[in-house]
Amino acid sequence: MTPRPAIATALAEAIGHTPLLRLRLASARTGCEILAKVESVNPGGSIKDRTALGLLLDAERRGLLRAGGTIVEGTAGNTGIGLALLGASRGYRTVITMPQTQSREKIDALRVTGAEVRLVPAVPYANPEHYAHQARRLAEAMNQADPGSAWFADQFDNTANRDFHEATTGVEIWEQTGGRIDGFVCATGTGGTLAGVGRALKARNPEIAIALADPAGSALASYVNTGELKAEGGSISEGIGSSRVTANFDGAPIDLAWSIADTESVPWVHALIHEEGINAGGSSGVNVAGAVRLARELGPGCTIVTVLADAATRYQAKLFNPAFLRDKDLPVPEWLVRAFPE
C-alpha cells in the first residue's frame, strides 16, 4: 500500500490509511485483542469516503463522468457526504436523494458541502419510490436531456465499491496487524466493506473468520444462516442493514452472522465515548457488539478487527437524547441524564 503522503495535494490523498485502535473494554471483557479501524478520521468523517473514492475513481477511469458533470446518488447520508466533498474537490456538482428519516446532522452535513439534497419518503427497496430508484431515474432523465451530463454512482450494486475495499481497507488491516488476525466482523449496508475486506483477508489466510453483525430489522443475518431473507424487529441505527442481497454483498465470504439488537449495541456506543473517549456512531456499536460475539466464539487470545464507521456526534439527537432512548425502550446511562437533564 502506498502510504498517506505527509502533505496531501488533493482531498483524495487524505482518504484511507486510518489508525487501528485497541478497544480496551471489549478486549478486557473477552480476553481477546479487539481492534478497530477509526474511519471517522477520513475527511468526510466516515468509512464511506473510501466507498465514494472507489466509485468515483472507477467512473473516471471508464469515462463515465465528464468534466464538470453531475454525480447523482441515493444514500442514507455518509456516502453522499464523501461524494459531495470529492465532487467539490474535482469540479463536479452533486445531487443526493435521501430518506427523510435520516438524522438532521447528516442532512445538514450534506447541505453544507454544496450538494443538492432531495429528501424522499423512507420506503422499502421494492417500492419504486425508494431513494436509490429515484436517484437512478434522475440520472437517466438528466442524461436524456443532456447525454453524458450525469453519473449514477449506484453504491449498492456497483462492485467498484467492494473492489476498492478489497484493495485498500483489507490490505491495511492485514499490514497493520502483521497478518496476526483471527477474525474480522462488521455490519453492512451496501456490502462493500464486509465483502471487500473479507476477500482481501481470506486471500491471505483462508482460516480468518469473517462475520456479519446485522442490526435487528435487517434480513441479511437470516440470509447467511438460512438462505432466507427474513427480518425481525427494528433498529435506530442508520446506513446499515438490508432487505435484499446487493451485488456487492453477493458471494461475500461470510462464516458467521448474528442479528444484533439495539439493547446490545447502543450501550457500547455510550461506553466507548464515556469510558474510552472514542467517538463512534450507532453502526459502530453494532460492530463492537459483533466483535465481542466473535471473540467469544473463537475463544480467549484471539485477535479480532472491526470498524468504527463514523462519529456519534452525527447522530447526537438520537444516541444522546434520554427522552428518545426511553421512547425506544433503550437503557439511558446516569451520566447521560446528568449531561442532558430534562
Q: What is the pLDDT of residue 293?
A: 98
Q: DSSP string spanning 270-318? A: HHHHHHS-----HHHHHHHHHHHHHHHHH-TT-EEEEEE-B-GGGGHHH
Single pTM value for the model: 0.94
Kindly report, residue by residue over 138-196, the tens digit of the pLDDT. Answer: 999 999 999 999 999 999 999 999 999 999 999 999 999 999 999 999 999 999 999 99
CA distance 186 to 5: 28
Kindly report, residue by residue over 269-306, the tens digit of the pLDDT. Answer: 999 999 999 999 999 999 999 999 999 999 999 999 99
Q: What is the pLDDT of residue 320?
A: 95
- Residue from 199, 193, 154, 202 nearest 287 by CA: 193
| Structural domains of the chain ordered from first start | 11-41+169-335 (3.40.50.1100), 47-152 (3.40.50.1100)
Q: Which residues are part of the catalytic machinery?
A: 48
Q: What percent of the chain has pLDDT over 90?
A: 87
Kindly report, residue by residue over 26-84, the tens digit of the pLDDT. Answer: 999 999 999 999 999 999 999 999 999 999 999 999 999 999 999 999 987 899 999 99
Q: What is the pLDDT of residue 228?
A: 96
Q: What is the pLDDT of residue 69?
A: 96
Q: What is the pLDDT of residue 2?
A: 62
Name the one residue in this structure whose C-alpha cell is 441524564: 337
CA distance 50 to 44: 10
Instruction: Tell me which DSSP letter residue 77 carries.
Output: S
Q: Find the DSSP H helices in 3-77.
A: 24-30, 48-61
Q: What is the pLDDT of residue 338?
A: 93
228, three cell numbers: 432466507
CB neighbour class for 229 (10 Å; exposed up to 12, middle 13-18, buried from 19): middle
Residues paired with 258 in a beta bridge: 213
- Residue 6 confidence class, pLDDT cut points 50, 70, 90: confident
327, three cell numbers: 421512547
Do 260 and 309 contact (CB within 8 A), yes or no?
no
Kindly report, residue by residue over 94-153, the tens digit of the pLDDT. Answer: 999 998 988 888 888 889 988 999 999 999 888 999 999 999 999 999 999 999 999 999
CA distances from 49 to 13, 17, 106, 228, 274 (A): 11, 12, 14, 31, 26
Q: What is the mean pLDDT of residues 7-28?
A: 96
CB neighbour class for 275 (10 Å; exposed up to 12, middle 13-18, buried from 19): exposed
